[in-house]
Amino acid sequence: MDNNQNFTDSITNNLDQETAAIAQCLKDYLTVHWRTAQHYQILRFLADETLQRLSEGKQPVFNYIAIRGAVTGETEGDASAWFGRHWKTLTGDFRQKCEEGIQKFASDQGLTVYPWIDKRESNGGAGNQALICLVALPIPGSSAQAAKKLPEHDIHYIPAEKLKLSWWARWLFDKNQVAEGWRKWMLVWPNLLWFGIVGLLSVFLLWAMSQSAAPLTTRDTIILIYIGLLAWYARYLVDRFCRLVDDRIVLASDHMVGFKEFGVCLELFKPEGSNADTPKRARMIKYAGTCPICTAQVLLDKGEPDFPRRIVGRCQESPREHVFSFDRATRTGHRLR
């Protein structure tokens, strides 16, 4: 009997440790990828309260009323209908966008499981027929990678949840924000074509103006200014293309991403496990980390003027002082200030 009891206690302790691990993992994930939407607040409540109940030796399961009260402060009305709307979001659009990122985040923390939300039927009354809890799901083989021995670092970056691109960029990138084949080349050839057209047009206009013996007019001056601006922009596009080829990653242009997106990068990469002959693909990706100084979110930004031609991580609370390097190969960084 004692042996059976010890075995049962051991299983319970292991389950509690696993539940605590996924709750902490979810809490850390939300710290980096926080949004103010109520389904994010639901997940935050589950992570925090799961850890709290486990520390008290209680079962970490919650009814609709407790969750709604913590998120909205409301005590009246149909809690089941309120939660049903957010359950549809969590199991639909949110899962499609974020599940892969949560799996990667958990894998980077050395876990073989990742946190997810689940319903368990209960014997409660009408409108309260289920209990909500966190469950540990196995990370698929494509996401569970052997832990790599990383060099010493101050910050670890992870890919943020799938981001929102501008309307025209969505034509070039698939649902995973990846462009390959002709779509990848559409990011290159228009820039080179623009550079060629501007160069030919500038040469032609300068030649035409040189054939006139009349003094420069205001119109001629304006044309020269426009030529200079077009030539500057064309050179900027070519320099940007060269930098992408050399560095493999650049910050995405503002017109390629949604209005509220920040810190998004355009990156050249090869799929994992591909051979040397596999062509590179282009993808839009957003890396984020947690500031080790103030625990705020760290997003990528230009290093200029202090760190020219570098992409650095800037803390959102202290972007000029809490600055970190960014290594795209190891996704780690060190303090630069």
At 227, list the tokens: 């030529």
Q: Using an 8 Å Cβ cutoff, are 43 and 30 in contact?
A: yes
| Omega prior to 305 cis, within 30 of 0 | yes
DSSP lists the bridge partners of residue 257 as 165
At 159, list the tokens: 């890919």
Q: Using one digit for the tens of pLDDT, what is the confidence trace for 127-154? A: 456 899 999 999 886 444 444 566 788 8
| CA-to-CA separations, 125 to 64, 65, 122, 129, in angstroms, rounded | 12, 12, 9, 6
Q: Using one digit for the tens of pLDDT, what is the confidence trace for 27-78? A: 988 887 777 889 999 999 999 999 999 999 889 999 999 999 999 888 778 8
Mean pLDDT of 299-327: 93
Q: What is the mean pLDDT of the chain?
A: 82
E strand or H helix that includes residue 16: helix 2-32
